[in-house]
Amino acid sequence: MNTESQASILLVEDDASLAEWILNYLQGHNYLVHHIARGDQVAAYVQQHVPDLVILDVMLPYKNGFDVCRELRAFYPHPILMLTACGEEADEILGLELGANDYLAKPVRPRVLLARLKALLRREPQEPSVQGILRFGQLKILRDAKTVFYRDEVIGITAHEFDVLWLLANNAGKVIRREELVTQLRGIEYDGFDRSIDIRISRLRKKLHDNPEQPVRIKTVWAKGYLFSPEAWE
């Protein structure tokens, strides 16, 4: 981490006037500050730049602060300070449960913000759970956040699609029978007619840019099942 006066901070706030004064105030105290106004752009930025601290508003367009916090905590070890609406105790509790280190209620008071930042920046970073992360070339799968990155971009997939992908990727290079997928993911025995898993895999292939006619990333092994190819993600 940088020294306190040179620390890099990511400010995630969609209120333009609030973001401007926080930006100017912190820069006036020698912090390096980058501003993002949308929740869906945060994870990719943090992955690439790894700021020393994230100031994260709850109410954001495209992805709210709670979802962003959950996403970051799967791989980001540094402090997260959440900004909550004044008096919203439930927001504060949920933010802390999702991995935020502290919260600050609006309206934000400059000296309080500065004091909180200094206290957080003195803490040692927490190591994320590497057991919940799978990497294959430029593909990164975060189990706890149920999030997939490919070439530093978040791939939008459903929770059901993620469950299929995680199971296949966690057994990379091994053929997983359709019966096993149905049993593990749906909790029922395969009856020979259930095609829900096939539909999920078809959708995953499209989202992960795998040729549906000749897939190389999630392969179909005829009369056996599916195989996640670990070398096909460069």
HSE value, Cβ hemisphere, 13 Å, CA-based, for 88: 18
Percent of the chain scored above 90 by pLDDT? 38
Locate all alpha helices (DSSP H) within 5-135, ordered by sequence: 16-28, 42-49, 65-72, 89-97, 110-121
Lowest mean pLDDT among 36-45, 155-164, 202-211: 155-164
**Contact indicator for 71, 92 with CB cutoff of 8 Å:** no
- Asked whether the predicted pLDDT for residue 140 surpasses 70, the reply is yes
Q: How far is Cα 6 from Cα 61, in angstroms, rounded to an integer?
A: 29
Q: How far is Cα 231 from Cα 233, in angstroms, rounded to an integer?
A: 6
Q: Starting at the edge strand that comes first in sequence, how are the strands of the sheet with 8-12 ordered?
A: 32-36, 8-12, 53-57, 80-84, 102-105
- Summarize pLDDT for 218-231 with one digit per residue, the tens: 999 887 889 999 88
CA dihedral 174, 177, 181, 182 (to 10 degrees): 180
- Summarize pLDDT for 155-189 with one digit per residue, the tens: 888 888 888 899 899 888 889 888 888 787 766 55
**Contact indicator for 56, 84 with CB cutoff of 8 Å:** no
The model's pTM is 0.55
Spatial neighbors of 21 by CB under 8 A, at least 6 apart, are none
- Asked whether the predicted pLDDT for residue 211 surpasses 50, the reply is yes
- Confidence class for position 149, pLDDT limits 50, 70, 90: confident
